[in-house]
Amino acid sequence: MKVRPVKLFSDGACRGNPGPGGGGAVITDAEGRVLWEGREYFGFCTNNIAEYKALILGLKGALACGCKNLEIYLDSELLANQINGSYKVKNEKLKQLMQDVRKLLSSFESAMVRHVPRCRNATADRLANMAIDEHADRLKAEG
């Protein structure tokens, strides 16, 4: 029996580029039920670095949940095309992050990456922005 793939949506966000960055990821089953979600503040970074780190966050979440087959949805056309091999990775920092992504992807039986419009990635986007907001709120509280 073939195991149905789960869906991983990830998104990175920055306030400015570069600026304070965060990432969010959500994993759903085929029916759209949330199996896992996570968010993380990444510090000062570029939007592309935040996109990569958000995907890494989601891939680690998928491994922790025991997922074997993934459909990955990204609203970063650059990242989707770099993973799928149609764009080269030229930036040195992104090359290292791509090595991390490839290593994590090799842990799955299957992983397919698709670019989607931002509106189809709203939950991951919301989580990424929450990570940035929560960090800013902590800084204000420590004031």
Decide if pLDDT at 1 tops 60. no
Q: How confident is the model at residue 4 (pLDDT cuts 50, 70, 90)?
A: confident
Write the DSSP assignment of 104-136 as a string of letters.
Answer: HHTTSSEEEEEE--GGGGHHHHHHHHHHHHHHH
Burial class (CB in 10 A: 0-12, 13-18, 19+), 137: exposed
Domain range summary for the chain, segments of one domain joined by +: 6-116
pTM: 0.96
What pLDDT does residue 143 have?
Answer: 80
The 10s digit of each residue's pLDDT in 52-103 is: 999 999 999 999 999 999 999 999 999 999 999 999 999 999 999 999 999 9
What pLDDT does residue 119 have?
Answer: 94
Which residue from 21, 24, 22 is spatially nearest to 8, judged by alpha carbons?
A: 24
Q: Are 75 and 11 in contact (CB under 8 A)?
A: yes
CATH code of the domain occupying 6-116: 3.30.420.10
